[in-house]
Structure 1
Amino acid sequence: MTELLFLVLVLLGPVLLTEALLARYEVMAYTAGWRTPTTELPQDVPYARGADPDRPPEAYLVYLDGIGKRRFRDTRDGGQLVKAVIAGAPELRVLGQVQPYSPLADPLVDRPVWEWLRHHIGILLFLHNVMQIFVAADHRYRPLYNRAVGTQIAGQLRLAGYQPDSGIPVVLLSYSGGAQVATGAVEELHAQLRAQLLLITLGGFHNGANDLTHADHLYRLTSESDWIERVGTWIFPQRWRLFRRSGWNRARRASKITAHFLDPATHIGRNSYISPDAKMPDGRSYVDRTADTVIALIRAYCGRARVPSREPAPKQSMPDPPASAVG
């Protein structure tokens, strides 16, 4: 057993080191201006789907996928969550092409080396995106990464028809590690678009350090069976209640975070939040239940955004754990 573990470390060590360097290269290349981020999409990929582009939508929704995202098209579930949201809420304009794990907005499948790896060592594609999450969470690179991807999102929104200062809400729906990018994009989107921002995280894996001052609210969709999201609350100190000055804990004290449980869904697998096969007692699939929840939250938010209210923000739907707990 010891020999096997040593062999794995010997094989993975150089790979992890290489991935760590490549992940940092993109954000540094963006910051130094060595490369220009991609803005154009393939001809068959629209800048947005859903609501009629000739009329203002109720809201713009930007979907930030998990670590399976490697192309402009939706990948993790074949785009089923996005399709379900569009079908159930035709009043929304939905963007699914943002590359949350590339500050240069450069899909992995368009790079010759990575295309070869996809066919031969596919796990490296996921490892690359995992490393990007930790670069985005690293205090040394986080401001640069946030600015890069926030600018990418703002640019794609403009190309999809969004007008700064229009008053139309922007919803950032993120899956897993996409939550790190979504929370990091808040400041740049506020600065560039002055938009009302709603965040919805689905099994969100993030470090809790990003400032959420300019987000109106964050809905945390989770499950008691989602161990991956729970690991994120353990390994990042900024998610611990002890660190009261972190962005996450300041938002919690401002009643900006509401948890909704989608039990018994899991993070990945046949019973995941976006599973088309696992069924609820009422006959809906898990992906349809998730889409219905997202749509209901957005519609309620848009209703409040149109009619300013003096009522306090809703409290968390889950009881507070002891002060020593993490969340």
Structure 2
Amino acid sequence: MITWALWILFGSLLTLALLSPLESLRWWARDGQSVASLVRKAAPEELDAARSDADADPVQQFVVYLSGVAVASGGANSTSKTEMHFLDALSDRLPGARITGDVFPYSPQNLGLPQRRLSGRLWSFAIRHRRRSRFSLLSYLIKIRNILQIMVAGDPRYGPTYGLGLANEITRSLLDKGYRLGSGTTVTVIGFSGGAQMCLNAAWFLESSGIPTQIVSMGGIFANNPAFERLHRFIHLWGSKDLLHHLGPVFSPRRLRWFPSSAFNRAKAEGRVLDRCIGPMRHDAAQWYLDHRATTPDGHSYFDITTDAIVEFLHETPLPTTRPRDGRTS
């Protein structure tokens, strides 16, 4: 009986893995051509509204938050209370910024799991029951599904398509917040865990469309990516007890110093990639980066330490007028 159960589980995971690229391919077949010119061009009425809002309330910078693999959709309905508090804290300390967390990074069309036509009921069931325990099997099912999407995004066959779709949705969210295309205002994309890889996939196209982009990786798991050729700045914040963030170089050896010609290492040599240990944080669960209860010996909570590090980075945000070296793939 146990053997049959294991075979069924293995077959289900294999099927889920094989079907993972289909969403990206369907999006490309249906909508890809309309946004193939390096992120969609906003409609005139959208640009007029954005300019009107920006003129009335000048904005110094925009921040987009992409959550980790436990998230099931974008926005307050799925983002944890702790993460919402984190975004509120950033907003309070950065009065000249507009901050959004409504993009679901594990879908090139920003389609949350409960919104799906065929599998929506299954995911809604999983979301309801995982609230009883974050360690339930259904909770892991959501994480596995999103991890598979990260693998799709990291696949050179599907990654560009995925990144284009995600960049399009980030641009849409920015326009809704009043961003003006061509204004030169810097956009910071914060990615937690696997969200850092999704930031990179989208960043190439954001930069290509004239949006100066910098990334904050919060315990991020990410690969060498051509986007490092175009990014203005990238900072990787990590905790000394976070073992999972080390998986990035394991799965992407070109991040290692033995490959100085990789996009990641070239950007690092130019000073556009920063790497900083901010404390004894773990990757998730107790004592993670946004844990209010865990504190250092001097009494600072992990939440405050992480927020302080990100705010410091954002306060140093320049207003770029030129792009780094024109992109080269690696």
What corresponds to 2:276 in structure 1? 260
Q: Structure 2 stretches of 5 or more lacking a match?
A: 36-52, 130-137, 323-330
State the alpha-carbon separation in 1 of the partners of residues 86 and 19 from structure 2.
30
State the alpha-carbon separation in 2 of the partners of residues 178 and 163 from structure 1.
25
State the 1:161 CA deviation. Answer: 0.9
Q: 1:148 aligns with which of 159, 165, 170?
A: 165
Deviates more, 1:124-133 or 1:252-261: 252-261
2:106 counterpart letter in structure 1: Y
State the alpha-carbon separation in 2 of the partners of residues 307 and 159 from structure 1.
23
Q: TM-score, normalised by structure 1?
A: 0.81
Is residue 2:74 matched to residue 1:72? yes
State the 1:53 CA deviation. Answer: 8.8
Root-mean-square deviation (Å): 2.7
What corresponds to 2:124 in structure 1? 115
What corresponds to 1:176 in structure 2? 193
SS at match of 1:174: strand
Distance 1:142 1:126, change over 3 A: same
State the 1:165 CA deviation. Answer: 1.4
SS at match of 1:33: helix
What corresponds to 1:26 in structure 2? 23
What corresponds to 1:200 in structure 2? 216
State the alpha-carbon separation in 1 of the partners of residues 71 and 284 from structure 2.
14
What corresponds to 1:91 in structure 2? 96
Which structure dedicates a bigger proportion of its chain to helix?
2
What corresponds to 1:105 in structure 2? 110
State the 1:292 CA deviation. Answer: 1.3
State the 1:56 CA deviation. Answer: 1.8
Seq. identity, %: 27
Is residue 2:73 matched to residue 1:57? no
State the alpha-carbon separation in 1 of the partners of residues 253 and 9 from structure 2.
27
Q: What do the CA deviations read for 1:152-177 (whole angstroms, capped 9, x no partner)?
A: 11121112111111121100111010
What corresponds to 2:44 in structure 1? none
Distance 1:92 1:7, change over 3 A: farther
State the alpha-carbon separation in 1 of the partners of residues 122 and 258 from structure 2.
44
Deviates more, 1:140-149 or 1:207-216: 207-216
State the 1:12 CA deviation. Answer: 3.1
SS at match of 1:83: helix
What corresponds to 1:296 in structure 2? 312
State the alpha-carbon separation in 1 of the partners of residues 9 and 229 from structure 2.
39
Distance 1:10 1:32, change over 3 A: same
8 Å CA contact 2:278–2:309 kept in 1: the answer is no
What corresponds to 1:167 in structure 2? 184
Is residue 2:297 matched to residue 1:281? yes
State the alpha-carbon separation in 2 of the partners of residues 251 and 181 from structure 1.
18
8 Å CA contact 2:186–2:212 kept in 1: the answer is yes
SS at match of 1:260: strand
Distance 1:9 1:235, change over 3 A: farther
State the alpha-carbon separation in 1 of the partners of residues 108 and 179 from structure 2.
21
Q: What do the CA deviations read for 1:244-295 (whole angstroms, capped 9, x no partner)?
A: 3432122122221111211211111211111111123343321121111111
State the alpha-carbon separation in 2 of the partners of residues 114 and 245 from structure 1.
42
SS at match of 2:228: coil
Distance 1:117 1:307, change over 3 A: closer
What corresponds to 1:48 in structure 2? none
Deviates more, 1:128-137 or 1:10-19: 10-19
State the alpha-carbon separation in 2 of the partners of residues 204 and 53 from structure 1.
35
Q: What do the CA deviations read for 1:69-126 (whole angstroms, capped 9, x no partner)?
A: 2122242435222122112222210010111001121011332231123345332111
SS at match of 1:106: coil
State the alpha-carbon separation in 2 of the partners of residues 152 and 197 from structure 1.
15
1:146 counterpart letter in structure 2: G
SS at match of 1:62: strand
What corresponds to 2:225 in structure 1? 209
Q: Structure 1 stretches of 5 or more lacking a match?
A: 38-50, 309-327
8 Å CA contact 2:90–2:311 kept in 1: the answer is yes
SS at match of 2:299: coil
State the alpha-carbon separation in 1 of the partners of residues 230 and 88 from structure 2.
29
Q: TM-score, normalised by structure 2?
A: 0.80
2:101 counterpart letter in structure 1: G
State the 1:226 CA deviation. Answer: 1.0
State the alpha-carbon separation in 1 of the partners of residues 307 and 17 from structure 2.
34
